[in-house]
Every structure is written in C-alpha cells, then in structure tokens.
C-alpha cells in the first residue's frame, strides 16, 4: 500500500514480551545513548516505571545527550507536575500533543496514540506500551489491572523512517529539530524486511489498508490480537471472507479483564457473523490483553493501532511491518501461548447466553454507535 515510508532490507527486529522484558531493555538503551533520545508515548503516568525513565533520561541529558519527549496531553494527565519540572530542570524538552481545551470541542478527541523510542537514530522501539506501572505485569500499581503487551526492538535502515515519523510530529507540536535526520545508509544488521505504517485519523489509514490487503491475500493463516475489538467493516468483511475460503482465522481479544468493560460488551455484536464464517475467537483471561499484533502467513504487524472505529477516526498511530521467518516464528509462539491462556468462544454456547447479557451488550453497542457519530 502507498505511504510515506517504504520497505527496506537488512534490518534486525526482536520481539519483546511483557514489561519485565522490554522496560529493562529500553532503560539499558537509554543508558547507552550518546547523542540523541526521541520518545513519543500516549500513556505516561507518574509511578515506579516513570521514575526509572526520568532518572535514566536525566542522567543521559547530563552527559550531553539531547532528549526530546512528545507526550499526548490526555494520555499524560496522570504525569505529575513535579516530574515534568525535574525533566525541564535537566534540559529535557517535553512537548504535549493537542493540549485539552474546552473551546476545542470535538478536536479534543484527536490523540497521539503512538508508542515509540529511538536511540541515536540507530536503535528503535515500537509497540503498545506506555510509561506506566500497569505494564509491569508482575508488579502492577496497587489496585491496578496487569497489562499484557509487547514491543519490537529494531535496528537497521527502517529506524530512519521512525525518526522521520517522530520529527514530523515534533515540529507540528512546536518543537525544533536539533539533529540531522540521517539518510538510510545503514549497514546490514539482520535479514528482516521492514517498513513503518501509520494512521492519522480519517486522513491517512495506511495501517488499516495494509491489514485488509494482507488478510485478503492470506493463504494459510490470519491471527490477530487486539485490545479493543470494535473492528471497522472492511476488516470484519476481510476476516469473514478469509475464513470462508479456508484460511485459519483466529482472533485473540480481551476478556472482562480490561480497562473498558463496556467495550468488551459492545464488541459482542460482531461475534455472530464472524463465528458463523468459521473465525475462531479467544478471550484472553490472565490479564488485560493490550497487545496489537497481527500475523498473516509470514507477515507481521505490531504497534499501537487496534483497528477499531475510534482509533482509525481520531488517533495518530504507528505500526511496524516485518517479513522475517524467525520473527514470524516468535510471534506464532506467543499467540499460541496466549490462545492456551484464553477461553474460546464457541458459537452454540455463545448463542445460548442469557437474555440479560444480550440486553447489556445491545445497550453498550448502541452507545458505541452513537459515539461514533461524533464529528
């Protein structure tokens, strides 16, 4: 599909699962930075994880590393002022995407939902995490729900496109580019073909179009994991058609272990036609499934986009697409493990659910449809 960024070869991409793995990985990368750190995150909340990042970023700034951090204003509403002041005193520039204002009305709904970090324009991270305690699955904040998520660690020419993606938004938020965006003249570090895909509300929906294209051309499997299962029509249709032509189509979605239970109930309106077409649906049980991950044959896409109506109408999103056998195998192993920890939705059992559950689902579904009419 057409987009600003194109496929490049010779990249290395590593799947990092759970905050216990990717958060130390990211902190170590910050410690090793020598020139430039670029961060763009939707969810930033004060707490133990944020303290670790603040400490690492301040130390980096003190040794001369330029640090630019773009935070969504709504997603960062629990990032305390004293933490922001610590960053400012260290010379770290923090910019807010779309500050909330009553006078903006529905424009307040446009959010930067991306999650990425780039070190010295050589190493990148992209996926679904925020800088928040929820992502440490073994030690969530008191009373908080543990989140199951992934990040990709990336090296190679594709990192230059991640830099460009960040730089464009940084400038639009009033920041100046204190660095030269280097050309993709990278040495080969791996065997992965990769590219950045993005979404910018209704203006640019490359992520959705690419998913639909790969689902439509899949011959073996289409396995998707998504946090909020409110897929747009073109995705639902492609999933049904793939299953009907014999492709192994499986969806892993959140159970009631979610931060938005109403979405869980509203999503049930999409189950019937998918199940009848032969799509298998699994509801992940141990934690809140927050990963956004797709595997179509050997093609992998991972990042911030849930492929739901709301994300695709209002948000800035970023995914990384990868074709590389070892990554596809790692993603397959993860998704198989997630399915084993899920409850499969069986069509006949689902049809016989009690009337009050159907009524609740219909009510939340109606509310969801009304929200989608907001302009």
Residue 243, domain CATH: 3.30.870.10
Confidence of residue 8 (pLDDT cuts 50, 70, 90): very high
Same domain membership, residue 182 and residue 166: yes
The pLDDT of residue 375 is above 60: no
What is the H or E stretch that residue 23 is in? helix 19-32
Q: How far apart are CA 181 and CA 173, in angstroms?
A: 18
Among 171, 196, 221, residue at a domain's last position: 196
- DSSP lists the bridge partners of residue 68 as 38, 93
Q: How many domains does the chain have?
A: 2
DSSP state of 34: S
Cα-based distances in Å from 264 to 38, 136, 258, 307, 365: 34, 23, 8, 15, 10
Confidence of residue 269 (pLDDT cuts 50, 70, 90): confident
Q: Which comes out higher in pLDDT, residue 335 or 102?
A: 335
Can you give the pLDDT at residue 2? Answer: 58
Residue 209: which domain range? 198-371
Question: Which position has the token pair 């010779």?
Answer: 10
Same domain membership, residue 45 and residue 89: yes
- Mean pLDDT throughout 323-336? 98
Contact 212, 224 (CB under 8 A): no
Report how far Cα 327 is from the mean position of its chain's Cα atoms: 17
Q: Which comes out higher in pLDDT, residue 184 or 85?
A: 85
Strand, coil or helix: 42: coil
Share of the chain above pLDDT 70, in %: 94
Among 196, 215, 231, residue at a domain's last position: 196
- Find the DSSP H helices in 63-181: 81-89, 158-172
Can you give the pLDDT at residue 57? Answer: 98
Per-residue pLDDT of 224-237, as tens digits, reads 999 988 888 899 99
Strand, coil or helix: 369: helix
Among 146, 171, 196, residue at a domain's last position: 196
Same domain membership, residue 237 and residue 223: yes
- Mean pLDDT throughout 262-266? 84
Same domain membership, residue 211 and residue 174: no
Nearest residue to 131 (alpha-carbon basis) of 201, 211, 62, 70: 70
The pLDDT of residue 264 is above 80: yes
Strand, coil or helix: 29: helix
Q: How far apart are CA 106 and CA 375, in angstroms?
A: 7
Strand, coil or helix: 22: helix
Cα-based distances in Å from 233 to 236, 240, 272, 309, 310: 5, 11, 14, 9, 13
The pLDDT of residue 185 is above 90: no
Can you give the pLDDT at residue 142? Answer: 61
Same domain membership, residue 234 and residue 109: no
The pLDDT of residue 137 is above 90: no
- Mean pLDDT throughout 17-31? 97
What is the H or E stretch that residue 25 is in? helix 19-32
Same domain membership, residue 139 and residue 76: yes
Per-residue pLDDT of 59-90, as tens digits, reads 999 999 999 999 999 999 999 999 999 999 99
User: What's the pTM?
Assistant: 0.94
Confidence of residue 267 (pLDDT cuts 50, 70, 90): confident
- Which sign, positive or negative, has the C-alpha torsion 114, 119, 121, 127? negative
Q: What's the mean per-residue pLDDT of the chain?
A: 91
């Amino acid at each position: 599909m057409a987009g600003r960024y194109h496929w490049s070869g010779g990249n290395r991409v590593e799947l990092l699962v759970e905050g216990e793995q990717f958060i130390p990985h990211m902190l170590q990368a910050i410690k090793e930075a020598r020139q430039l750190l670029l961060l763009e995150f939707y969810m930033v909340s004060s707490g133990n994880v944020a303290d670790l990042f603040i400490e690492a970023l301040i130390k980096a700034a003190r040794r001369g590393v330029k640090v630019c951090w773009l935070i969504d204003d709504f997603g960062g509403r629990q990032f305390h002022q004293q933490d922001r002041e610590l960053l400012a005193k260290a010379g770290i520039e923090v910019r807010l995407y779309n500050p909330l204002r009553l006078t903006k009305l529905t424009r307040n709904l446009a959010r930067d939902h991306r999650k990425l970090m780039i070190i010295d324009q050589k190493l990148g991270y992209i996926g679904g995490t925020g800088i928040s305690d929820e992502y440490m699955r073994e030690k969530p904040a008191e009373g908080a729900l543990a989140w199951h998520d992934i990040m990709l660690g990336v090296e190679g020419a594709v990192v230059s496109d991640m830099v460009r993606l960040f730089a464009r938004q940084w400038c639009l938020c009033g920041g100046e580019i204190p660095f030269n965006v280097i050309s993709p003249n990278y040495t080969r570090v791996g065997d992965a073909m990769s590219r950045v895909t993005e979404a910018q509300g209704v203006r640019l929906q490359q992520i959705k179009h690419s998913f639909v294209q790969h689902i439509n051309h899949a011959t073996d499997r289409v396995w998707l994991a998504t946090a909020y299962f409110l897929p747009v029509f073109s995705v639902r249709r492609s999933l049904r058609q793939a299953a009907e032509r014999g492709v192994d189509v499986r969806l892993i979605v959140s159970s009631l272990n979610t931060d938005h239970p109403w979405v869980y109930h509203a999503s049930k309106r999409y189950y019937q036609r998918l199940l009848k077409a032969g799509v298998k649906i699994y509801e992940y049980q141990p934690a809140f499934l927050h990963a956004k991950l797709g595997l179509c044959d050997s093609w992998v896409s991972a990042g911030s986009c849930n492929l739901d109506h709301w994300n695709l109408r209002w948000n800035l999103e970023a995914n990384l697409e990868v074709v590389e056998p070892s990554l596809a195998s790692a993603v397959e192993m993860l998704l198989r493990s997630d399915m084993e920890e899920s409850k499969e939705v069986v069509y006949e059992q689902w049809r016989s659910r009690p009337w009050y559950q159907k009524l609740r689902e219909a009510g939340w579904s109606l509310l969801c449809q009304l929200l989608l009419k907001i302009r």
